[in-house]
Amino acid sequence: MKAKTFPCALLVALLLFAVVGAVAQEIERGQWEEEISRFTQLRDEMKSKSDDLSGQITSLQERSSKLDAALKSCLDELYALVGSDAEKAAAYRAEIESAENKANELGRLSDADLLARSGEVDELEAAVKRLWEDRLSLIPEFWDRLTALDEKVKSLKTTIAGSGKVYTVGTWARNRDCLWNISKKRDIYNDAWMWPKIWQGNRDQIRDPDIIHPGQKLKIPPKAPLTTEEKSAARSYYSRKVGS
């Protein structure tokens, strides 16, 4: 029986396939080794940079701690010069911040609403004056903030001064002064129904609109339609009167 033989062309093809496969494997292995080498180098570079940054951070933290300690020491000495300390300075700083918040709140009001709350402006002015009386006001930080507060209070007072006239209440026997009659005076509003505007503009002085006293100096807001708040106050007053 004769042995089977492979065609010559098939044998050559198999040999070529084997050679090409071996070469391809060698090329892939070489590329893989190059990539591994490249990534290893990148890793080493990144680690070196990371170590360097960590060292810089540690150095900066140590420097920051030293500066914080030096600042605290300087501030303690500064507070001692005016007979105070860090704890009292912190409380004083909080008082100034509270006054600043109140000044900012009042500064956002309309002229009419500011006029109605002029008593709060007077209280703020008195509070700032008391803050100036503390020797801590000599510290630059506090001096600058109190100076700015003075300017804000001055601006608020100027706004109030230009927002309306002042009427001095007379006696009932002689002047028949009540909010209704004051409001209908020609040089006030010439309209009795505008009386809630005077009431709301003087809430710091008038709790009951039926009760005013001779000698009271009432701020007269600029003539304008009653605001929503003024109308609401009037409705509440009339409701109480009806219910009583």
Task: Give the pLDDT of residue 150.
Answer: 97
- What is the structure's pLDDT at 20? 54
In 148-234 the beta strands, taken as DSSP E runs, fall at 165-168, 217-220
**Distance, CA of 82 to CA of 139 (rounded, Å):** 8
Token readout for 58 is 């540690």
| Token couple for 172 | 């009932």
Task: Give this prediction's pTM.
Answer: 0.51
Tell me which fold the domain 165-243 belongs to: Membrane-bound Lytic Murein Transglycosylase D; Chain A (3.10.350)
Domain boundaries, the chain: 81-161, 165-243
- In the chain, the N- to C-terminal Cα span, in Å, equals 136
Q: Which helix H or strand E contains 98, and what residues bound it?
A: helix 86-107
pLDDT value, residue 153? 96
Percent of the chain with pLDDT over 90: 46
> What's the rounded Cα separation, in Å, for the pair 118 and 141?
28
Mean residue pLDDT across the chain? 85
CB atoms within 10 A of CB 74: 10
Distance CA 47, CA 132 (A): 57
Percent of the chain with pLDDT over 70: 86
pLDDT beyond 60 at 113:
yes
Are 103 and 156 contacting, i.e. CB atoms less than 8 angstroms apart?
Answer: yes
Number of helices (H) and strands (E) in the chain: give both, helices first: 9, 2
Q: How many CB atoms lie within 10 A of CB 152?
A: 19
Separation CA 204–CA 197 (nearest Å): 13
The predicted structure's pLDDT at residue 47: 81
Q: Is the pLDDT of residue 239 over 80?
A: yes
Q: Is the pLDDT of residue 4 over 70?
A: no
